[in-house]
Structure 1
Amino acid sequence: MAKETVVVVCPGRGTYNAPELGYLARHHAGSPWLAYFDAVRSAAGKPTLTELDGAKKFDAKLHPRGDVAAPLIHACAFLDFLTLDRERFEVVAVTGNSMGWYTALACAGAVSGEHGFAIADAMGVNSQKHAAGGQAVIVMAGEDWRVDPETERAVEAACGRVGVLPSIRLGGMLVVAGPEAALDALNAHLPPLPRPPLRLAGHGPFHTPLMQASADAARGQLPADWFSTPDVPLIDGRGKVWRRFETDAAALWDYTFGHQILEAYDFTAAITVALREFAPDRVVLLGPGETLGGAIGQAIVAQRWLDIDSKSVFSLRQEEDPFLVAMGREAQRRIIAI
Structure 2
Amino acid sequence: MTATRKTALVVAPGRGTYGKGELGSIARLHGARFADRIANFDAQRRDRGQPTVTELDGADRFSVATHMRGDVAAPLIYTATALDFLSIDRDKFDVVAVAGNSMGWYSALALGGAVSVADGFRISNAMGLNSQTHGPGGQVLLQIVDEYWRPVPSLRAQLLGLVAAIAARPGHALALSIDLAGMLVFAGNEEGLAALLAEAPPTPDRDPLRLAGHGPFHTPLMFGSSDRARAELPPSLFAAPAIPLVDGRGHIWRRFASDPAAIRDYTFGHQILAPYDFALSVQVAVREFAPDVIILPGPGDTLGGAIAQALIGIEWQGIASKADFAARQASNPVLLAMGRTDQRAAVTGGQ
TM class by smaller structure: over 0.9
**Where do 1:80-95 residues align within 5 Å?**
80-95=84-99
**Where do 1:65-80 residues align within 5 Å?**
65-80=69-84
Residue 102 of structure 1 is matched in structure 2 by 106
Shift of 1:12: 0.5
In 2, Cα distance between the equivalents of 1:62 and 1:290? 21
Of 268, 293, 297, 2:308 maps to 297
Render the CA deviation track for 1:295-337: whole Å, top value 9, x for unaligned.
0010111111111111011112112222100001111001111
SS of the residue corresponding to residue 283 of structure 1 reads: strand
Shift of 1:92: 0.2
Residue 4 of structure 1 is matched in structure 2 by 6
Residue 256 of structure 2 is matched in structure 1 by 245
Tell me which moved more, 140-149 or 161-170: 140-149
Residue 57 of structure 2 is matched in structure 1 by 53
Give the counterpart letter for 1:329 in structure 2: R
Shift of 1:188: 3.5
Of 173, 190, 207, 2:200 maps to 190
In 1, Cα distance between the equivalents of 2:220 and 2:209? 22
User: Is 1:29 matched up with 2:31?
Assistant: yes
Give the counterpart letter for 2:27 in structure 1: A
Give the counterpart letter for 1:203 in structure 2: H
In 1, Cα distance between the equivalents of 2:43 and 2:225? 25
In 2, Cα distance between the equivalents of 1:190 and 1:45? 43
Give the counterpart letter for 2:106 in structure 1: Y
Of 179, 186, 208, 2:189 maps to 179
Tell me which moved more, 243-252 or 27-36: 27-36
SS of the residue corresponding to residue 186 of structure 2 reads: strand
In 2, Cα distance between the equivalents of 1:266 and 1:183? 20
Residue 163 of structure 2 is matched in structure 1 by 159
Render the CA deviation track for 1:253-278: whole Å, top value 9, x for unaligned.
00000000000000001000011001
Shift of 1:148: 2.9
In 1, Cα distance between the equivalents of 2:198 and 2:231? 41
Give the counterpart letter for 1:29 in structure 2: G
Render the CA deviation track for 1:38-68: whole Å, top value 9, x for unaligned.
1221232211111110111101100000000
Residue 324 of structure 1 is matched in structure 2 by 335
Tell me which moved more, 97-106 or 146-155: 146-155
Structure 1, gaps ≥5 residues long? none
**Where do 1:103-118 residues align within 5 Å?**
103-118=107-122
Residue 18 of structure 2 is matched in structure 1 by 16
In 1, Cα distance between the equivalents of 2:21 and 2:301? 11
Render the CA deviation track for 1:61-105: whole Å, top value 9, x for unaligned.
000000000000000000000000001110000000000000000
Residue 210 of structure 2 is matched in structure 1 by 199
Tell me which moved more, 181-190 or 265-274: 181-190
Give the counterpart letter for 2:214 in structure 1: H
Residue 234 of structure 1 is matched in structure 2 by 245
In 2, Cα distance between the equivalents of 1:200 and 1:180? 13
Runs (4+) off by over 3 Å: none
Shift of 1:149: 4.4
In 1, Cα distance between the equivalents of 2:261 and 2:55? 36
- After superposition, the CA RMSD in angstroms is 0.9
In 2, Cα distance between the equivalents of 1:18 and 1:88? 31
Render the CA deviation track for 1:277-296: whole Å, top value 9, x for unaligned.
01100000010001100100
In 2, Cα distance between the equivalents of 1:65 and 1:137? 18
Give the counterpart letter for 1:264 in structure 2: P
